[in-house]
A and B are shown apart, each in its own frame.
Chain A
Amino acid sequence: MIRDITLGQYYQTESVLHRMDCRVKLVGTLVFIISLFVVENWWSYVLAALFLALCIRLSRVPFRFMVKGMKSIVFLMLFAAVFNLFLTPGTPVVSFWKLRITDAGIRMALQMAVRLTLLIIGSSLMTLTTTPNQLTNAIERLLKPLGFLIPVHEIAMMMSIALRFIPILMEETDKIMKAQMARGADFESGNLVKKVRSMVPLLVPLFISAFRRANDLAMAMEARCYHGGKGRTQMKPLVYGGRDYAAYGMMWAYLGLCIVMRIVL
């Protein structure tokens, strides 16, 4: 059930995008998102879609796999689109009861749907081709100049531990759920109060196990003399290669093109 959500999941395969420096991918995703909100005319969206299609092709992640993860957010998109459809002022096209659909409303709703779709596919492309550890590593490196303001390394470490614990806790939930079902537990039927109460035998052992694991991990880290980020080096430091510079070049060219299109068209 939970495993069906592909949003934020890593897809194991071999491709240019998988091998690319994670900083490029992170910055690239940010640039792509910014570009989506900079542009306003339809040709720019075609450009963005083409750029994304090229990246998907390079990533070798099956498109079907990405769309499967989109299902869970269709509702959110419909919600946003419907609100835009009815609440944007402009020349009315259709009106009934107290509602009216304006030409600007249709335009906004469509634009919103296209933006969100591209945004979600674009950012899930990053997580599909980047492991959580690479991602936090990239964040740590990119935020390094802010080291005097915030404990960058500690934040990155907390993020990667939190991400690492998600599958573990999911597995644990599954196990405890089954163990309680073997004792006749029923997690599905009954009203809300009954459902919430039936969660107690699941949540208490889950919390206990989370604390136990956190304790064990802290102990193991201390036993290996972990003391935060000061003076800590990396086994595989991130180094830009020629391909990464080329990717940066393409990215800035794309952003430039978007800005030009906005001014010219």
Chain B
Amino acid sequence: MSLKLEHVSYVYGSDTNLAVCALRDICLEIPDGQFLGLIGHTGSGKSTLVQHLNGLLEPTEGKIFYDGRDIWDKDFSRRELRSNVGLVFQYPEHQLFEVDVFSDVCYGPKNLGLPEEEIRARARRALDLVGLSKEYDKQSPFELSGGQKRRVAIAGVLAMQPKILVLDEPTAGLDPKGRDEILGQIAHLKRETGISVVLVSHSMEDVANYVERIVVMNRGSVLFDDAPRAVFGHVKELEEVGLAAPQVTYILHNLAENGFAVDRHATTIKEARDTILAALRSG
């Protein structure tokens, strides 16, 4: 069920005097079951790119294949695609509209035309996955806290049981606790269901702890596409495009420059602790 982009370009307002090229010649493949991080500075084209993944935007040039089929083919159902590629927008809580939490989560599966029991079962499971128990079911989504609203909105997409889940800045505007909760739940979800997850963010720290592959975007093109360790090796280039490596990377680079035998490529705090301890013991 892989998703493949071939030489995709996108231009906003191509027929006006203010045309902006948002994506240039993007080639990308999202294989089954991968946890992918998509990183870029504000305006680098991340959000435009993710709207191509489920057929909300049609590329100006290039092709997108889902499961080997061109998604802009005449007889390809993009509604079906949208149930397979679940997209959670930035500030998804702004899309909530129902009278209670449970019915809002039911909206997606209902649109798929599923039988009533299946809809309820899917909604319940989706709410369980984001850690909202039954007692929230009958509450108005507008009375919840910001983090809870966001979890309801994510559940609304999960209830469609997508094979690929795309989250556009799921932690924007949350406090550190809410951020860790959401990211933890996404990681948990990934382990539990084995679906592919694309996590869009501008924060390396958010992404470093969870993903297995990082795609760095800059001015509408892919700058790096590699494992986190390899990407964070390019500290200089990342800073040039307005991004930063995780703080532990900086500490390790400084330590290494001052003669400590540490592994510069550690990306998480745990790995950094281990390599520092090892260096201290051997020294």
Contacts and interface: CB of A to CB of B under 8 A. Distances in A.
Interface of A: 3, 175-176, 178-186, 200-201, 204-205, 208-209
Interface string B152-196: 000011001000000000000000000000000000000000000
A179 B95 contact: yes
A186 B111 CA distance: 8
B83 interface: yes
A205 B160 contact: no
B210 interface: no
A125 to B, nearest CB: 17
Interface string B111-128: 110000000000000000
A182 B111 contact: no
B95 A205 contact: yes
B107 A179 contact: no
Interface string B91-123: 010111100000000011001100000000000
Interface in B63-107: 79, 82-83, 86-89, 92, 94-97, 107
B250 interface: no
B contacts with A: majority SS: helix
B34 interface: no
Contacts of A175: 89, 94
Identify the 3 closest CB pairs spanning chains A and B, nearest first: A184-B111, A204-B97, A179-B95
24 contacts: A3-B13, A175-B89, A178-B51, A179-B94, A180-B107, A182-B56, A182-B86, A182-B87, A182-B89, A182-B157, A183-B82, A183-B95, A183-B107, A183-B108, A183-B111, A183-B156, A183-B157, A183-B160, A184-B79, A184-B108, A185-B107, A186-B111, A201-B107, A209-B94
B221 interface: no
Contacts of B156: 183
Given A184-B108, A201-B97, 11 more contacts: A3-B13, A175-B94, A176-B94, A178-B56, A182-B82, A182-B88, A183-B107, A183-B157, A185-B107, A201-B95, A209-B94
B9 interface: no
B54 interface: yes
**Most chain B Cβ neighbours within 10 Å, of A3, A181, A184, A186:** A184
A201 B103 CA distance: 12
A185 B107 CA distance: 9
A178 B89 contact: yes
Contacts of B112: 184
Contacts of B136: none
A205 B94 contact: yes
B224 interface: no
A182 B54 contact: yes
B189 to A, nearest CB: 17
B160 A184 contact: yes
Nearest to A182: B87
A204 to B, nearest CB: 4
Nearest to B166: A182
A205 B83 contact: no
B142 interface: yes
**Most chain A Cβ neighbours within 10 Å, of B13, B82, B142:** B82
A205 B96 contact: yes
B162 to A, nearest CB: 10
Contact of B95 (A176, A184, A186, A200): A176
A176 B96 CA distance: 9
**Most chain B Cβ neighbours within 10 Å, of A180, A182, A204:** A182
B94 A185 contact: no
Contacts of B111: 183-186
Contacts of B88: 182
Contact of A186 (B79, B94, B97, B142): B79
A177 to B, nearest CB: 9
A1 B89 CA distance: 22
A201 B111 CA distance: 12
Nearest to A6: B16
